[in-house]
C-alpha cells in the first residue's frame, strides 16, 4: 500500500522530540512561508506542518515569534487538517510563552494573542497559553460574534438592486466578506458559485460583500466568468465594521430563523462550506 508523503511526514515529525531536531535555517523557513500558497493543495498540509516543526527548533526571540505568527495567518487557508493546524498554533503558543508581547497602543491584546484565540474559537483547537491578553482576546471575539448575530444591513448589488439581510429569514444565508485582490478569496469563489447554483432551490442565499469600486468588481467578474451569487457593494466598509471584519475572506452562516450558526475566518473548501451550511439546516444531496 502506498503511503502519501504528507501522512508519513506527519507521523515521523510527531514522534521525534523537538529538542532532538537540528536548528532550522530561519531564512529557509521564511522562504517556505512566503511561497506556501504556491504549493499544490495535496502537498500544502505536509509543508505547513514541517514549517511549524522547523520554527520550534529556533531559539526564543522575536524572529521565531514573527515566523510562527506569519505561518499562522496562512495555515487556515483551506483544509490542512486539524493535526496540522494544531501544530501551527502550538508553535505560536510556544513562541509567545518564550517572548510575551505587550498590549498594543490602544491597550488591546497584541495580534499574536488574538490569532491564538481565533484558532481556538473558530477552528476547534486547544492551547496551553495562559495569559490575560489571550483571555481578553477570547472575550473580544465572543462580543464581536454577538454583534454579528444582531447585525442587519441593506446594500445594493452591482446592478443596483437592494438586498436586506433581515428580510431573508426563512432562507439559509451565507455572508462572505471578500475582495478581488485577495488570493484565498478568489480561490474559494468557484466553490461558492457551485454550491449556490446547486442549492438555491433549497432556499440557500449567498451574499458576497466587498468595499471595492463597482467597476473593479465588474472587471473581475468578466475575467472570472459567470458568478451567480449577488455581489453587494459595501461602500466605505460600513457593514464590515458592524461585523468586526479584520481579515478576508470571512464567512458567516445564518439558519432559517436568522440565527448565526457558523463562522469561518479564512478560505474554505467545498467540504468545509458544506459543514458550515449543514449547521444552518442545508441537506447536501
Residue 7: how many other CB atoms lie within 10 Å: 13
- Contact call for residues 61 and 41 (beta carbons, < 8 A): no
Q: What is the pLDDT of residue 21?
A: 60
Give the burial string for 157-183 (b: 16+ CB within 10 Å, else e): beeeeebebeebeebbbbbbbbbbebe
SS3 for 262?
Answer: strand
Task: Tell me the whole-structure pTM to 2 decimals.
Answer: 0.89
Residue 101: how many other CB atoms lie within 10 Å: 17
CATH annotation of 154-279: 3.40.30.10
Rounded CA separation 119/204 (Å)? 27
Q: What is the pLDDT along the chain (285 residues), one digit of tens a residue?
A: 323 333 334 443 444 454 456 899 999 999 999 999 999 999 999 999 999 999 999 999 999 999 999 999 999 999 999 999 999 999 999 999 999 999 999 999 999 999 999 999 999 999 999 999 999 999 999 999 999 999 999 999 999 999 999 999 999 999 999 999 999 999 999 999 999 999 999 999 999 999 999 999 999 988 888 899 999 999 999 999 999 999 999 999 999 999 999 999 999 999 999 999 999 999 877
- Contact call for residues 101 and 131 (beta carbons, < 8 A): no
Query: Exposed, middle or buried, 62 (CB in 10 Å: 0-12/13-18/19+)?
Result: exposed
Q: What is the pLDDT of residue 16?
A: 47
Domain with CATH 3.40.30.10 in the chain: 154-279
| C-alpha grid cell, residue 86 | 494544531
SS3 for 158?
Answer: coil
Q: Where are the alpha helices (DSSP H) in the chain?
A: 5-15, 26-34, 44-56, 62-72, 82-98, 111-123, 132-150, 183-199, 214-224, 238-242, 270-279
User: What does R_g of the chain's alpha carbons equal in angstroms?
Assistant: 20
Amino acid at each position: 500500500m502506498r503511503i502519501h508523503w504528507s501522512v508519513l511526514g506527519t507521523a515521523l515529525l510527531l514522534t521525534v522530540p523537538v529538542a532532538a531536531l537540528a536548528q532550522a535555517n530561519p531564512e529557509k523557513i521564511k522562504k517556505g512561508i512566503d511561497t506556501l500558497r504556491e504549493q499544490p493543495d495535496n502537498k500544502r498540509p505536509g509543508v505547513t506542518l514541517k514549517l511549524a516543526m522547523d520554527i520550534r527548533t529556533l531559539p526564543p526571540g522575536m524572529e521565531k515569534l514573527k515566523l510562527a505568527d506569519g505561518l499562522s495567518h496562512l495555515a487556515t487557508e483551506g483544509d490542512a487538517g486539524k493535526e496540522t493546524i494544531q501544530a501551527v498554533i502550538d508553535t505560536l503558543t510556544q513562541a509567545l510563552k518564550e517572548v510575551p508581547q505587550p498590549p498594543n497602543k490602544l491597550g488591546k491584546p497584541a495580534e499574536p494573542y488574538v490569532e491564538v484565540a481565533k484558532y481556538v474559537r473558530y477552528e476547534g483547537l486547544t492551547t496551553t497559553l495562559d495569559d490575560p491578553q489571550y483571555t481578553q482576546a477570547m472575550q473580544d471575539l465572543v462580543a464581536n460574534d454577538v454583534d454579528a448575530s444582531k447585525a442587519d444591513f441593506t446594500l445594493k448589488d452591482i446592478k443596483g438592486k437592494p438586498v436586506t439581510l433581515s428580510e431573508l429569514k426563512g432562507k439559509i444565508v451565507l455572508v462572505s466578506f471578500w475582495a478581488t485582490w485577495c488570493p484565498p478569496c478568489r480561490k474559494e469563489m468557484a466553490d461558492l458559485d457551485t454550491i449556490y447554483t446547486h442549492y438555491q432551490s433549497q432556499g440557500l442565499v449567498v451574499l458576497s460583500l466587498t468595499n471595492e469600486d463597482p467597476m473593479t468588481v465588474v472587471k473581475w467578474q468578466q475575467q472570472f466568468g459567470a458568478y451567480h451569487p449577488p455581489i453587494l457593494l459595501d461602500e466605505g466598509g460600513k457593514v464590515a465594521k458592524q461585523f468586526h471584519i479584520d481579515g478576508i475572506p470571512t464567512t458567516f452562516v445564518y439558519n432559517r430563523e436568522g440565527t448565526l450558526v457558523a463562522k469561518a475566518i479564512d478560505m474554505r473548501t467545498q467540504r468545509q462550506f458544506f459543514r458550515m451550511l449543514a449547521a444552518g439546516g442545508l441537506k447536501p444531496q
